[in-house]
Homo-oligomer: A and B are copies of this chain.
Amino acid sequence: MKKVAVSILGATGSVGQRFVELLSNHPWFQIVSLAASDRSAGKKYADVVNWLMPSPLSKEIGEMEINLCEPGIPGNIAFSALDSSVAGDIEAAFAHEGYTVISNARNHRMHPSVPLLIPEINNDHLDMVKQYTTGQIVTNPNCSTIGLCLALKPLYDAFGIESVHVVTMQAISGAGYPGVASLDVIDNVIPYIKGEEEKLETEPLKILGKLVDGRIQPADFSVSAQCNRVPVIDGHMECVSIKLKNKASPEDLIHAWRTFSGIPQKLQLPSAPQYPIHYLEGDAFPQPRLHRNIDKGMAVTIGRLRPCPLFDYKFTLLSHNTIRGAAGGAILCAELMHICKK
């Protein structure tokens, strides 16, 4: 089987590096183009990148010459790891020229004709992209949104949701590189991440919304979010309180989570976790360092389900912010779109 040619926009940053790592031995996709800013263009990838991934950079990729982020480069599926300060225009330009852009940036996420895709949850939203005459943009949700929505989806379907309160403790890798200064985060917590609470309060409603006549009807519950940065390398933790529409026992919730499965599992997409949700027994689970890599970093882990005096239930969830929450999630979207097209 001939592999599909793909390109990576913003290939030198930390999300870009994850794309490179995860696509290096991908069974379906082949990296044919790495694009970055004009500071890097024309140089070898290995000479420019400050490689921070745990597995070594392959010789072959390291030798590739970096392109400018302009339409015309090979690789018709373009994974965008661009910074939001430039992603808007560049991604639109690529889509306009016929590329399928799978973006990790926030710029187009809430656009009424752009899907905000989590393949296990809302693959039907892909119907929206036919409206693009040439090319298309599909977006990956915010790293904290993905974990939350995967945990909410089975509950939303089975019991309905009235309200969700979430407090996050997010890893430093979510801020890219150099990102968070060490003086700001060692022996410290930063109780603020710019724009993050707004995303967590809006994106889930689009993702769990219904596509009606080509438009998303947002889900009808409210989310309140508080976001913190903690000294953890990878893995976003979220303390969730939830009020359901219908009564359910703790066992009901755990059953809903453990039996949850989506189209990526059914199609056995290469990047799909075996189980999208792992509910862990144990008083003090999940923990970022112990559980972020479960199921290739593509699953959400949940623990500590217990009654809440104000809402119905409280629980803690964890998801890997640069795998499931960024590059890995985007690759799963591309896998789904690729197989659906065939």
Contacts and interface: CB of A to CB of B under 8 A. Distances in A.
Interface in A252-306: 283-290, 293-294, 303-304
Interface in A294-329: 294, 303-304, 308-311, 314, 316
Given A172-B182, A182-B172, A226-B316, A287 B165 contact: no
Residue from A165, A179, A285, A293 with most neighbouring chain B CB atoms (10 Å): A165
Residue from A181, A191, A284, A287 with most neighbouring chain B CB atoms (10 Å): A191
A131 interface: no
Contacts of A316: 191, 226
B233 A228 contact: no
A145 interface: no
A283 B51 CA distance: 13
B172 A284 contact: no
Given A285-B191, A290-B54, A311-B224, A186 B233 contact: yes
User: Which of under 10, 10 to 19, 20 to 34, or 35 or more describes the interface residues of A?
Assistant: 35 or more
A132 interface: no
B186 A187 contact: yes
Contact of A228 (B187, B237, B293): B237
Given A182-B179, A188-B287, A189-B287, A169 B228 contact: yes
30 contacts: A14-B183, A52-B183, A52-B290, A55-B293, A165-B165, A167-B239, A169-B169, A169-B228, A169-B230, A172-B183, A172-B186, A173-B183, A177-B181, A177-B183, A178-B184, A179-B181, A182-B182, A182-B186, A183-B233, A185-B186, A189-B230, A189-B287, A190-B287, A191-B239, A191-B303, A192-B283, A223-B309, A226-B239, A226-B241, A226-B316
Given A189-B237, A222-B309, A230-B231, 5 more contacts: A51-B290, A52-B290, A167-B167, A182-B182, A182-B184
